Amino acid sequence: MRDAIEEVLLWQTDYTHRNTDGMKRRGVIIRDELRRELEDLVPALKARSGIDDLQVQGKDGMGPKSAVPWTRIFSSSRSTRATDGWYLVFLFSADGGRAYLSLNQGTRRWNGSEFELRPPVELAHRNQWARQLLEKDFVIPDEWVTEIDVDPRNESLGHSYELGNVLAVQYEADAVPPDEQIEGHLLQAAEWIGSIYREADIGLRVPGEAPDVADFEQKLAEVAEPRKSVRAGPRLSASQRKVIEERAVAVTVEYFTSKQLGFAVKDVGATRSYDLHATRDGETLKIEVKGTTSNGSEVILTRNEVDLHQAEYPATALALVRYIELENTPDGSRATGGELILQWPWKPLDAALTAIAFRYTTGL
């Protein structure tokens, strides 16, 4: 591994986006040689992490060559692309000065037309969540740092790796350690990524991840792509989803029926394409209620919900109750708390909608 890292860093000093002989050689190391060396360690990494679907992948750019090539170790069911999930990755600085073994994450999200960078504040919260999780169970050695510098030019892709770093150990070009030390770092990081994967599988309070959205996407994948590996089990059970929804409705009803607002509110969620029908002095308001244990950055809307609220605007509102707490009791799940975020009037904007499935008419 040391030889591979040193040679990649050497080629980095002659980096060009063109597919020169040097960049071709760099690609062979990233995609093949270093990947195969890491694949030899996968059984040990699986045992240390407790994750049984670890794989290795290297990328140096499709077409124009990337300034920051990488080779990553990831769970195939939890990080299908480098833009998603958490993983371990060797990152090589654009100037060839250093490489990092980084516990990193997908920093981009599909917006319907392209992958866009997650908000830096959201990535900072995700990093903080992961570090606090690890610090509860592990003593983090001082050599593991929270900030990395892979692209002095601060280009968008290199900067995204820097924003996504949870912890990293640095290898200077003239001081890459022997393979035994690198392997030790990998085994150490494998324990950490295993812990993060298990907590993210539950996913109730991971910043930027909504468990209800993840469960919905998983169900779609199971139907549309049954041969693909998916994370085992939903984050939320049916009973948990029910109490979350009931809690969100209760918080919203309490707000709209308060003395300050004075609405009469009827729960119509079982029969209509919205949840609450509110009236006051001749005014009518159709309220869509969404409850989540997450920060509420994403919610699921049906086509009927979108159509109705676009058509009925401005007599519409979105009541998002986020950070709901779930508690398991002998009598089942119980939901408490929650912060109400209200958009009133509310019209679902096309730019904020992302299609995650289509129904296709084959013409047969």
Tens-place pLDDT, residues 296-338:
888 888 889 999 999 999 999 999 998 888 887 777 788 888 9
Given CA atoms 140, 142, 144, 149 in this order, what sign does their dihedral have? positive
Share of the chain above pLDDT 90, in %: 61
Q: What is the pLDDT of residues 79-107, one digit of tens each?
A: 988 888 999 999 999 999 999 999 999 98
pLDDT of residue 90: 98
- How far is it, in rounded angstroms, from Cα 62 to Cα 236? 38
Give residue 362's pLDDT band: very low, low, confident or very high (50, 70, 90). confident
Q: How far is residue 124's CA from residue 117's CA, in Å, rounded to a whole number?
A: 13
Q: What is the mean pLDDT of residues 261-283?
A: 93
Return the pLDDT at 176: 97
SS3 of 212-267: HHHHHHHHHHHHHCCCCCCCCCCCCCHHHHHHHHHHHHHHHHHHHCCCCCCCEEEE
Per-residue pLDDT at 298? 83
pLDDT: which is higher, 154 or 46? 46
Residue 226: pLDDT over 60: no
Q: What domains are there in the chain, each with its CATH number?
A: 2-202 (3.30.930), 238-352 (3.40.1350)
**For 62-84, how does the pLDDT look when each residue is reduced to its tens digit (9 = 90+)?**
889 999 999 999 999 889 888 88
Please report the pLDDT score of residue 159 as a whole number: 84
Each residue of 187-220: pLDDT tens digit? 999 999 999 999 887 765 666 666 666 666 666 5
- Segment 252-257 shows an average pLDDT of 96
Q: How many CB atoms lie within 10 A of CB 148?
A: 22
Per-residue confidence band for 355, with pLDDT thresholds at 50, 70 and 90: confident
Give yes or no for residue 144 having a pLDDT over 60.
yes
User: Do residues 305 and 273 lie in contact, with contact meaning Cβ atoms separated by under 8 Å?
Assistant: yes
The mean-pLDDT minimum among 42-51, 159-168, 351-360 falls in: 351-360
> Residue 100: in which H helix or E strand, if any?
strand 98-105
- pLDDT bin (cut points 50, 70, 90) of residue 261 is very high
Of residues 264 and 229, the one with the higher pLDDT is: 264
Q: How confident is the model at residue 228 (pLDDT cuts 50, 70, 90)?
A: low
Q: What is the pLDDT of residue 324?
A: 87
Q: Is residue 16 within 8 Å of 65, Cβ to Cβ?
A: yes
Residue 112: its pLDDT value, please?
58
CA–CA dist 247, 331 (Å, integer): 16
DSSP secondary-structure letter at 30? I
pTM for the structure as a whole: 0.70
